[in-house]
């Protein structure tokens, strides 16, 4: 029996905590909000989920024998169409995917309890559904104009790693994440830790597939370049779609999105060049990691698509993916795809971003992304910046 529970990788967690109380970052509001609310909430939720995951072995023995065949991962730079593509593909019934609440409550037993509560809720007039809509509207309104977000909507698999404090997405809460560089590339952790994390990730996917009926697992992530080795270790036959995009635009957009919470909990760091390197390094690690692992994939298991093709010819692009992987395109999904593609063509982004707003030059970012300058050179410049 493969009974396994993984809690935290303590060396990274303790580094994150210690910097919170350093002279540079200690601020009452930051410590109260992140140290007193966010971190305890994540840890408390993790303890609850681990408890129910242990019960999964009691109530659903043998779930870990579930077959996972060629899961499909969408990889890209941040803000480069991965959500757009995922939300078109997820409407095909041959796929199963994580919603945000499922990534938060990754336990078969919790899934079953939530579905039972949802069924009862419908029978009594849906008061909990109404409450959920209010919660989504309040906590996720900051994502308006980016993509529809909420507990019931599909999301990245990022929280499966955030809950163990092993995800670049934590940059939302820690403006000094580049000072804890191991978190960007957990593929480089010691073998014992990496193997435990890979096994935990595999079990997380197994739980989801078992609870949702065994369809092909579909996932997307725009900051996973530093853990693709763990993905491959968990699922050696994984397939991948890589969306090529303008890296400079991705960095600029990422800086705007990922530093937004800083203006609330760490206003001193907002748009300050040194801290912004946390986001820049996150994008670079993802970008370089995808390039590195792209060469290691069996050619038949990975397809490259262009962002411009995806947004201008979404239906043709999706069809090319199905053809490449030999997947069946049902008539029902074909009709939905045509409808979604027509609607997508009318969308125009109203956002413009520039790396110069954060003290960087385009040339500086391009050289760093392509490996023509070292992080020490850019950090030296950033350290000197106000």
Domain boundaries, the chain: 29-353
Q: Is the pLDDT of residue 343 over 80?
A: yes
Higher pLDDT, 214 or 100: 100
Do 164 and 8 touch, CB atoms closer than 8 A? yes
Q: What is the mean pLDDT of residues 81-103?
A: 93
Choose the weakest-confidence range: 103-112, 145-154, 172-181, 199-208: 145-154
Q: What is the structure's pLDDT at 277?
A: 93
Q: Is the pLDDT of residue 282 over 50?
A: yes
Sign of CA dihedral 151, 78, 334, 66: negative
Q: How many CB atoms lie under 10 A from the CB of residue 372? A: 10
Q: Is the pLDDT of residue 28 over 50?
A: yes
190: confidence class by pLDDT, cuts 50, 70, 90: very high
Specify which residues 323 forms β-bridges with. Answer: none
Q: What is the structure's pLDDT at 144?
A: 54
Q: Is the pLDDT of residue 350 over 60?
A: no
Q: Which CATH number fits domain 29-353: 3.40.50.300, 3.90.1150.10, 3.50.50.60, 3.30.479.10?
A: 3.40.50.300
Q: Which residues contact 160 (CB under 8 A, 6 or more apart)?
A: 98, 103, 106, 201, 204
Specify which residues 306 forms β-bridges with. Answer: 244
pLDDT digits (tens, 9 = 90+) for 315-341: 999 999 999 999 999 999 999 999 999
1: confidence class by pLDDT, cuts 50, 70, 90: very low
How many Å from the N-terminal Cα to the C-terminal Cα in the chain? 55
Q: What is the structure's pLDDT at 132?
A: 78
Of the chain, the percentage scoring pLDDT greater than 70 comes to 90
| Residue 261 tokens, joined | 């919470």
Q: How many CB atoms lie under 10 A from the CB of residue 128? A: 14
DSSP 369: H
Place of tokens 């962002």: 307
386: confidence class by pLDDT, cuts 50, 70, 90: very low
If you write DSSP's letter for every residue of 262-285 in order, what string do you get? HHHH-TTTTT-HHHHHHHHHHHHH
180: confidence class by pLDDT, cuts 50, 70, 90: very high
Q: What is the structure's pLDDT at 214?
A: 81
Q: What is the structure's pLDDT at 143?
A: 52
Quote the CA–CA distance of 98 and 26 in Å, as a whole number: 36
Q: What is the structure's pLDDT at 78?
A: 87
What pTM was estimated for this model as a whole?
Answer: 0.90
Specify which residues 74 forms β-bridges with. Answer: 220, 241
Quote the CA–CA distance of 281 and 226 in Å, as a whole number: 11
Q: Which of 259, 272, 289 minimizes the C-alpha distance to 371?
A: 289
Which range is most confident: 186-190, 348-352, 366-370? 186-190
Q: Which of 93, 102, 94 minimizes the C-alpha distance to 150?
A: 102
Please, what is the average pLDDT of the chain? 89
If you write DSSP's letter for every residue of 147-161 in order, what string do you get? ---STTSB--TTHHH
Q: Is 76 exposed, middle or buried (0-12, 13-18, 19+ CB in 10 A)?
A: buried
């Amino acid at each position: 029996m493969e009974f396994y529970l993984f809690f935290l990788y303590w060396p990274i967690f303790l580094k994150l905590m210690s910097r919170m109380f350093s002279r540079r970052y200690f601020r009452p509001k930051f410590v109260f909000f992140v140290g007193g609310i966010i971190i305890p909430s994540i840890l408390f939720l993790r303890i609850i989920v681990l408890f129910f995951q242990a019960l999964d072995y009691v109530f659903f023995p043998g779930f870990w024998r579930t077959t996972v065949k060629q899961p499909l991962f969408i990889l890209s730079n941040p803000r480069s169409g991965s959500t757009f593509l995922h939300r078109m593909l997820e409407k095909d019934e041959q796929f199963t995917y994580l919603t945000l609440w499922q990534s938060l409550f990754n336990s078969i037993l919790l899934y079953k309890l939530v579905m039972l509560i949802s069924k009862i809720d419908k029978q009594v007039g849906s008061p909990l559904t109404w409450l959920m809509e209010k919660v989504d509207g309040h906590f996720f309104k900051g994502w308006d104009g980016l993509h529809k977000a909420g507990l019931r909507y599909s999301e990245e698999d990022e929280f499966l790693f955030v809950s163990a404090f092993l995800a670049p997405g934590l940059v939302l809460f820690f403006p000094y994440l580049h000072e804890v560089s191991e978190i960007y590339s957990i593929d480089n952790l010691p073998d014992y830790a990496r193997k435990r994390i890979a096994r935990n990730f595999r079990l997380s996917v197994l739980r989801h597939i078992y609870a949702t009926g065994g369809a092909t697992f579909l996932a997307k992530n725009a900051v996973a370049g530093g853990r693709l080795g763990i993905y491959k270790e968990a699922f050696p036959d994984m397939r991948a779609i890589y969306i090529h995009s303008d890296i400079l635009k991705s960095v600029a957009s990422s800086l705007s999105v990922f530093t937004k919470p800083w203006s609330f909990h760490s206003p001193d760091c907002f748009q300050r060049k040194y801290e912004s390197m946390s986001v820049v390094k996150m994008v670079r690690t993802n970008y370089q990691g995808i390039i590195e692992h792209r060469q290691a994939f069996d050619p038949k298991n990975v397809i490259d698509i262009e962002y411009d093709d995806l947004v201008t010819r979404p239906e043709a692009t999706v069809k090319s993916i199905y053809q490449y992987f030999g997947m069946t395109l049902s008539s029902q999904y074909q009709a939905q795809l045509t409808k979604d593609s027509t609607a997508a063509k009318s969308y125009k982004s109203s956002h413009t971003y520039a790396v110069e707003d954060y003290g960087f030059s385009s040339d500086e970012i391009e050289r760093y992304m392509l490996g023509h300058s070292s992080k020490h050179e850019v950090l030296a410049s950033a350290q000197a910046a106000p």
